[in-house]
Structure 1
Amino acid sequence: MKSPLIALLASLSLCCTLAHADDQPIFGLHEQVLLPELDLALPAKLDTGAETASLSARNIETFEKDGAQWVRFQLAVGEHAEPRTLVRPLLRMGYIKRRAGDIAAGDEAAYTARPVIAMPVCLGDSRQRIEVNLTDRSHFDYPLLIGARALKDFDALIDPGRRFTSGRPDCA
């Protein structure tokens, strides 16, 4: 008697899981995103192996304003783009594990500190306010990396065999 009941419960569980997956958007490994506050569209890499999101920035400096911590930085997006200086409240400092190839002989720091800000991001037809750390990604093909924590906010599935599936972001 227990065996058919267990099989029924397992089938119902699988059915509900598949039904939920049908409702989730499926994005590719690379997608166009929109930073609505800046009216800036840019390509992003969706990386489930990274925990956090990273935005390409240069000349990053933290400072205090009215008793709160802030960060000033220039977007490092597009080699021909005019540098844009932004100022945002600092949420916290993030500590990102460094890759073995990034650590010089005698360097004991296994983590690098990066300022973290909140930023609205539009992916497909969904707009989410996500946390992004700031680092110079100008040597990468994608100025924005969206990690697993932010991808959970978008409630999306990632198909690494696909690219640019969602078209131009539209979360008006």
Structure 2
Amino acid sequence: MATKIVLGWREWAALPDLGVGRLRAKVDSGARSSALHVDTQWNFHERGEPWVGFRLSPGHGAGMIEAAAPVFDVREVTDSGGHCTRRVFVRTTLALAGVERTIEMNLSDRRGMLFPMLLGRTALARVFTVDPARSFLHGRLPANAAPVVSLKSLR
């Protein structure tokens, strides 16, 4: 079995397919799914398939980013406060700690949260482990960070 990469409870991540060069992510192995804060979102169809468009501000001077992705799924998600909401899920590439892999992520309003992204355990599976006493173990990504390894598998 290969050695897993240790992450702190917060790390810098990128979502290159969505044009997000870097954003702060809270690493939460207690959460099943990952979530990305979006300021606004809208649904549309592209070649007969459902898509979602959205705007987000990843913070730290990055400005507003507008992106779109095919809708992977729509599911009920229960937050840590026990509130259940219906959310759109997309599949996208996550670049983190020199690794690139495809993850599922829901789009939500995380405006009141300190981190625009929450990384849940399905995004961490088989590659990462978490040391909750540490943070930012892999430094701040440059805006044009390139991953070292490509792991295009979620499951």
Q: Is 1:165 aligned to residue 120 of structure 2?
A: no
Displacement of 1:119: 1.2
Distance change in 2, residues 1:130/1:68 (3 Å): same
Q: Is 1:27 aligned to residue 7 of structure 2?
A: yes
Q: TM-score, normalised by structure 1?
A: 0.75
Displacement of 1:86: 1.0
Return 5+ residue gaps in structure 2 as ranges: 149-155
Runs (4+) off by over 4 Å:
none
Displacement of 1:26: 0.8
Q: Is the 8 A contact 2:57 2:63 kept in 1?
A: no
Q: Is the 8 A contact 1:52 1:131 kept in 2?
A: yes
Return 5+ residue gaps in structure 1 as ranges: 1-19, 103-109
Q: Is 1:47 aligned to residue 28 of structure 2?
A: yes
Give, in whole Å, the separation in 2 of the partners of 1:39 and 1:64.
Answer: 23
Number of aligned positions between the proteins: 143
Displacement of 1:99: 4.5
Q: Is 1:125 aligned to residue 93 of structure 2?
A: no
Q: TM-score, normalised by structure 2?
A: 0.82
Output the aligned Cα RMSD.
2.0
- Report the equivalent of 1:146: 119
Q: Secondary structure at the match of 2:9?
A: strand
Percent of aligned positions that are identical: 29
Displacement of 1:79: 7.4
Q: Is 1:61 aligned to residue 42 of structure 2?
A: yes
Displacement of 1:68: 0.6
- Bigger share in helix: 1
Q: Is the 8 A contact 1:124 1:168 kept in 2?
A: no
Report 1:103-122 matches (<5 A): 111-122=84-95
Moved more, 45-54 or 130-139: 130-139
Give, in whole Å, the separation in 1 of the partners of 2:53 and 2:20.
Answer: 19
